[in-house]
């Protein structure tokens, strides 16, 4: 009898419902827990009853499966709930006089704030009340030329005024709060320069601290090597998983070329290192020392994980590999698919938030789809000779991995690299040489041996990799950018991929009919729920810092008008996802006294399509004289305004007032209260979120931007 792929993966029956419970707890917290628990108990009782009656045993044999699935779903949701509750302190930290925090990671950023991942280890009220704590917190410390930069291990004292990490209230804003919650952080606090002090330092003798210290030492060795800046940053990422030195151009070029995974140390690198070590230890196989060989490989792979600073992505890959190698050590036949689900189940049991981390999703899906699709794809390709066989094998692995990960890559990064298969076919075979040579150079340099020829070769390969990715990026057809995918469409893609694979492998007509019926039903729902893109609007975003920028969208043309003296890139960051969803690109920055399309600016007045706008940032509005009040659709109040709303109403008939987010706090409160008293519609961006006004489109005029 022919065995299926999942017949060798019994752990899938545990991992899938457990992960489903975690996901359901995230989407509809607590609601389903009791429902699934009751269903599980009911079917468990029915199963027990059926066992006592011979005539019911076979007919009701599926009762136990239903009970086990429901209870595993409950277990997954309960694990997630317990994990979330552990993050919430029993007492309100803000009720204490002081807090003592340990700096775990200090950002090297030189911007206005220094971001620190910290842990509050004690809350202090007075000499009689001092309680230990364990509260992960993101601290943003004011950065000035005279500020003493906090370092990893520093103990700092400050008055706690913790606030939950919140998202910017912009359209399609990135869900930063959820991202940080899945990383273990739910609180943040800003500390001005005079509101904290260093009271000591602690060198925690943790394994991770030693690993990071070793990685830092290796990074210094690479810094001292005779490499070009681009080669140096690539080697740090490729060998040690350190990506802080990669500039944005490098990240973009590797992403467009479909080679981002090369710079993110994960299962690919571990697999290559495993293959290199296995080749070097081939004589042990000839001596039938398979277990000794497996043990050495296992130790060296974990040594590599230690060298990368115990990076989470490398640890995940090491756990998966360890399950396979442990099977060899105890004399069991390797079952890769089962090993994958054992590792996934164990990791989710340890930390259910792994399920929502992009790196975990990409790592798991790439390995899963390689195991699922490699053989079918390989069998479709010609492999009549040695070279064709190796090319077919490499192409099959790359294609299988991309089948599973492309939907996620497009969903998260809004880009489809069209040349990914080709670039991987060229680059991946060279990675063992670059990785092997790089580690050899690192080892020799670490003991003081310098081989200029080896340095030159490694530098040339790393530089060549950088130049290759930049060459691919130059061609517009190398990728499709700014793709927006809704979550429900992502689900449909995966149903099509894995449902189609199941139909293809099983050759069942019923399965094909069911899959096509589901797709048809989904498309019908999408037809009725489809929202047209927004191509005409005035948008003012919640931004970081003290700037206000007006975004005019005129028949798809995207124009930014900063009310400050220079454009702020923070606006682009905040608006990027909104623009992608609505198919808006080609940003144009304009200044005062400009006519551009249906937009005319003569501050303090702005005419946009059929809307009349006034910007209140000084006293120029007081110079207006008119026998009757002028009709204004939107009055935007920005820093510099000194008057009252009642004074403005004597001159203008205003439909709605917009308070910029960078107005002083008490001025915002005062103006908002005055608007409420005068019964004027008021939008306060700091609390109400971004201001979006759908405008009335008119025929586009000739562009005449000054």
Task: Name 26's Cβ contacts closer than 8 Å, sequence gap at least 6.
Answer: 80, 356
Kindly state whether residue 268 falls inside one of the protein's structural domains.
Answer: yes
Task: Work out the burial of residue 382: count CB atoms within 10 Å of its CB; fewer than 13 is exposed, 13-18 middle, 19 or more buried.
Answer: exposed
Tokens of 16: 């899938």
Centre a 10 Å sphere on the Cβ of residue 643 and count the other Cβ atoms it contains.
Answer: 14
Kindly state whether residue 706 falls inside one of the protein's structural domains.
Answer: no
Q: Are residues 630 and 603 in the same domain?
A: yes
Q: Are residues 136 and 75 in the same domain?
A: no
How many structural domains are present in the chain? 5
Q: What angle do CA 63, 68, 69 make, to 5 degrees?
A: 100
Mean pLDDT of 154-167: 92
Read off the DSSP letter of residue 147: P
Residue 526 clears pLDDT 80, i.e. is over it = no
- Rounded percentage of the chain residues whose pLDDT exceeds 70: 94
Q: Are residues 81 and 114 in the same domain?
A: no
Q: Are residues 473 and 492 in the same domain?
A: no
Kindly state whether residue 699 falls inside one of the protein's structural domains.
Answer: no
Angle between helices 63-86 and 336-350 (to 10 degrees): 40
Q: Are residues 20 and 52 in the same domain?
A: yes
Q: Are residues 257 and 393 in the same domain?
A: yes
Classified as helix, coil or strand, 100 is: strand
Mean pLDDT of 676-681: 92
Mean pLDDT of 252-273: 83
Predicted TM-score (pTM) of this structure? 0.84
Residue pair 690/539 in contact by the 8 Å Cβ criterion: yes
Residue pair 198/154 in contact by the 8 Å Cβ criterion: yes
**Residues 195-213: pLDDT tens digits?**
899 998 887 667 777 888 8
Q: Looking at 154, 179, 204, which one is the last position of a domain?
A: 204
Mean pLDDT of 268-277: 82
Kindly state whether residue 628 falls inside one of the protein's structural domains.
Answer: yes
Kindly state whether residue 637 falls inside one of the protein's structural domains.
Answer: yes
Dihedral-angle region of residue 450 (phi above 0 means left; psi in -120 to 50 means alpha; beta otherwise): beta
Q: Are residues 257 and 344 in the same domain?
A: yes
Angle between helices 31-51 and 63-86 (to 10 degrees): 150
Q: Are residues 512 and 588 in the same domain?
A: no
Average pLDDT along the chain: 85
Q: Looking at 42, 65, 86, which one is the last position of a domain?
A: 86
Mean pLDDT of 132-153: 85
Kindly state whether residue 702 falls inside one of the protein's structural domains.
Answer: no
Q: Which residues pair with 606 in a beta bridge?
A: 601, 613
Q: Which residues pair with 611 in a beta bridge?
A: 608
**Residues 394-422: pLDDT tens digits?**
788 888 888 888 888 889 888 888 888 88
Kindly state whether residue 22 falls inside one of the protein's structural domains.
Answer: yes
Task: Name 570's Cβ contacts closer than 8 Å, sequence gap at least 6.
Answer: 543, 544, 545, 547
**Residues 418-451: pLDDT tens digits?**
888 888 888 888 888 898 899 999 999 988 888 8
Mean pLDDT of 536-565: 84
**Residues 37-71: pLDDT tens digits?**
999 999 999 888 888 887 777 777 888 889 999 99
Counted residue by residue, the chain has a size of 706
Q: Are residues 196 and 241 in the same domain?
A: no
Task: Give the helix/strand (H/E) hosting 602.
Answer: strand 599-602
Q: Distance between CA 508 and CA 368 in Å, rounded?
A: 22
Task: Name 661's Cβ contacts closer than 8 Å, sequence gap at least 6.
Answer: 542, 543, 548, 685, 686
Task: Name 645's Cβ contacts closer than 8 Å, sequence gap at least 6.
Answer: 657, 671, 674, 675, 678, 680
Q: Are residues 346 and 438 in the same domain?
A: yes
Q: Distance between CA 678 and CA 657 in Å, rounded?
A: 12
**Residues 360-396: pLDDT tens digits?**
888 888 888 888 888 888 888 887 787 788 778 878 8
pLDDT at res. 704: 45
Residue 230 clears pLDDT 80, i.e. is over it = yes
Q: Which residues pair with 693 in a beta bridge?
A: 538
Supply the range of the domain harboring residue 330. 210-481
Residue of higher predicted confidence among 485 and 128: 485
| CATH code for the domain in which residue 602 is found | 3.60.15.10
Q: Looking at 154, 174, 204, which one is the last position of a domain?
A: 204
Confidence at 684, pLDDT banded by 50, 70, 90: very high
Q: Distances from the Cα of 539 to the Cαs of 120, 176, 303, 560, 687, in angstroms?
A: 39, 21, 52, 10, 16
Q: Are residues 291 and 427 in the same domain?
A: yes
**Residues 28-37: pLDDT tens digits?**
887 778 889 9
**Residues 637-655: pLDDT tens digits?**
998 888 888 888 888 899 9
Share of the chain residues as helix, strand and coil, in percent rounded to the nearest 5: 55, 15, 30
Classified as helix, coil or strand, 340 is: helix
Q: Distance between CA 638 and CA 658 in Å, rounded?
A: 9
**Residues 599-617: pLDDT tens digits?**
999 888 999 988 999 999 8
Q: Are residues 258 and 384 in the same domain?
A: yes
Kindly state whether residue 701 falls inside one of the protein's structural domains.
Answer: no
| CATH code for the domain in which residue 196 is found | 2.40.50
CA 24 to chain centre: 20
Tokens of 115: 């971001």
> Backbone phi, then psi, for 170, in 5-degree steps?
-115, 155
Residue 676 clears pLDDT 60, i.e. is over it = yes
Task: Give the helix/strand (H/E) hosting 687.
Answer: helix 685-688
Residue pair 682/670 in contact by the 8 Å Cβ criterion: no
């Amino acid at each position: 009898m022919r065995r299926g792929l999942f017949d060798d993966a019994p752990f899938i029956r545990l991992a899938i419902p457990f992960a489903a419970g975690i996901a359901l707890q995230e989407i509809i917290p607590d609601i389903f827990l009791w429902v699934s628990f009751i269903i599980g108990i009911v079917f468990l009782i029915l199963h027990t009853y059926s066992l006592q009656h011979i005539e019911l045993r076979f007919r009701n044999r599926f009762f136990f499966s239903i009970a086990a699935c429901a209870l595993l779903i409950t277990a997954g949701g309960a694990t997630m709930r317990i994990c979330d509750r552990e993050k919430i302190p029993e007492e309100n930290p803000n009720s204490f006089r002081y807090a003592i925090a340990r700096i775990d990671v200090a950002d090297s950023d030189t911007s206005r704030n220094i971001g620190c991942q910290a842990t509050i280890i004690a809350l202090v009220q007075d000499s009689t009340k001092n309680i230990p704590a364990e509260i992960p917190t993101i601290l943003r410390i004011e950065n000035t030329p005279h500020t003493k930069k906090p370092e990893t291990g520093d103990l700092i004292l400050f008055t706690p005024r913790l606030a939950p990490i919140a998202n910017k209230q912009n359209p399609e804003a990135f869900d930063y709060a959820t991202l940080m919650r899945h990383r273990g952080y739910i609180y943040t606090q800003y500390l001005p320069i005079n509101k904290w002090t260093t009271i000591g330092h602690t060198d925690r003798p943790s394994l991770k601290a030693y690993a990071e210290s070793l990685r830092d030492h290796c990074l210094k060795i690479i810094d001292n090597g005779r490499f070009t800046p681009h080669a140096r940053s690539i080697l740090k990422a490729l060998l040690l998983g350190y990506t802080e030195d990669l500039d944005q151009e490098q990240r973009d070029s590797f992403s467009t070329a479909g080679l981002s995974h090369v710079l993110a140390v994960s299962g690919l690198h571990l697999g290559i290192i495993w293959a290199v070590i296995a080749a070097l230890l081939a004589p042990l196989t000839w001596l039938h020392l398979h277990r000794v060989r497996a043990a050495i490989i296992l130790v060296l792979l974990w040594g590599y994980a230690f060298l990368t600073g115990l990076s989470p992505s490398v640890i995940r890959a090491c756990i998966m590999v360890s399950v396979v190698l442990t099977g060899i050590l105890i004399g069991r036949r390797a079952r890769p698919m089962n090993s994958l689900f054992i590792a996934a189940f164990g990791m989710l049991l340890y930390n259910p938030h792994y399920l929502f981390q992009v790196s975990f999703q990409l790592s798991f899906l790439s390995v899963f789809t390689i195991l699922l699709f490699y053989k079918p794809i390989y069998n479709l390709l010609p492999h009549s000779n040695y070279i064709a066989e190796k090319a077919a094998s490499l192409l099959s692995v790359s294609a299988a991995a991309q089948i599973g990960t492309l939907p996620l890559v497009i969903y998260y990064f809004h880009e489809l690299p069209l040349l990914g298969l080709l670039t991987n076919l060229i680059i991946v075979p060279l990675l063992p040489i670059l990785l092997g040579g790089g580690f050899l150079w690192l080892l020799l340099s670490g003991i003081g041996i310098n081989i200029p020829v080896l340095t030159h070769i490694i530098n040339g390969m790393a530089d060549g990799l950088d130049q290759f990715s930049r060459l691919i990026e130059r061609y517009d057809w190398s990728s499709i950018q700014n793709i927006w995918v809704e979550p429900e469409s992502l689900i449909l893609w995966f149903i099509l991929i894995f449902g189609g694979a199941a139909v293809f492998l099983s050759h069942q007509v019923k399965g094909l009919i069911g899959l096509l019926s589901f797709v048809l039903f989904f498309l019908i729902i999408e037809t009725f729920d489809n929202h047209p893109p927004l191509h005409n609007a005035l948008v003012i975003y919640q931004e970081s810092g003290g700037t206000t920028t007006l975004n005019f969208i005129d028949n798809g043309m995207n124009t930014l008008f900063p009310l400050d003296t220079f454009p702020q890139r923070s606006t682009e960051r905040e608006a990027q996802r909104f623009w992608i969803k609505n198919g808006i690109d080609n940003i144009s920055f304009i200044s005062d006294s400009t006519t551009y399309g249906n937009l005319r600016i003569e501050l303090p007045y702005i005419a946009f399509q059929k809307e009349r706008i006034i910007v209140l940032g000084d006293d120029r509005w007081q110079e207006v004289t008119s026998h009757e009040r002028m009709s204004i659709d939107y009055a935007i109040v920005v820093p510099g305004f000194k008057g009252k709303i009642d004074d403005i109403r004597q001159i203008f008939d205003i439909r709605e007032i917009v308070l910029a987010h960078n107005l002083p706090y008490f001025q915002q409160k005062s103006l908002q209260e005055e608007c409420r008293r005068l019964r004027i519609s008021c939008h306060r961006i700091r609390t109400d979120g971004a201001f979006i006004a759908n405008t009335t489109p008119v025929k586009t005029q000739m562009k005449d931007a000054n």
